[in-house]
Amino acid sequence: MTEQSSSQPGVTGGDPSGEGAPSQNGGITLHAEVQQAGEALLKLGASDPELAGTLARVLCVVASEAARTPRLAKALNKALTSPESPSASRPSERPRRPSRRTPGVIDPFAVFAESGETGLRLRLKELTLEQLRDIISEHGMDHDRLAMKWKDPQRVIDRIVERVGSRVTKGSAFRGRPTQSGDSPKVDEGSE
């Protein structure tokens, strides 16, 4: 492995004496690192030749591709170096969004099904603005991305009631008209 890896482009330190510029690993030259890797594989080969052969092939493929593809070399370098600090590891990335909101304290659909719009409004009035926003977030009721910015709890309550009512009645045109108490179906007098 040592001879094969040494002939690969970008694998040797470029100094035939073996005393090239120190690498990032505490002053050991690249030539010495390659030699150590070869010796370790030979030792492993004495006890488990199949594993040693597999590791040697993997290392050769990875080293060859990294030498050929700068993007892979950069990704490997990033993955294999230990970050100095958590903030230093991602200087160019956007800051992450804060954690997701907590789930709503009530299920507005269950309350609506149990006690209707009036009951839902009464239950929602008991909640704080943040609890109302949790319900909006959990059930995806901020379709226009405005409700989470509203400061008036009544406005947020109206949005929740409107969205719950809309979703509950969605598809009702295909279910037929519900008969209301007191309304009797009209009978066509000509068919009797």
Residue 150, domain member (yes or no): yes
Residue 163, domain member (yes or no): yes
pTM: 0.43
Q: Which domain holds residue 50?
A: 2-14+26-79
Burial of residue 41 (CB within 10 Å: 0-12, 13-18, 19+) is middle
Clarify whether residues 135 and 73 are in a common domain: no
Residue 100, domain member (yes or no): no
**Pick from 23, 25, 26, 1: which is nearest to 13 by CA?**
23
Domains identified in the chain, total number: 2
Residue 121 vs residue 173, higher pLDDT: 121
Task: Label residue 178 by pLDDT band (50, 70, 90).
Answer: low
pLDDT tens digits along 2-54 = 444 444 444 444 444 444 444 444 556 888 888 888 898 899 899 999 998 99
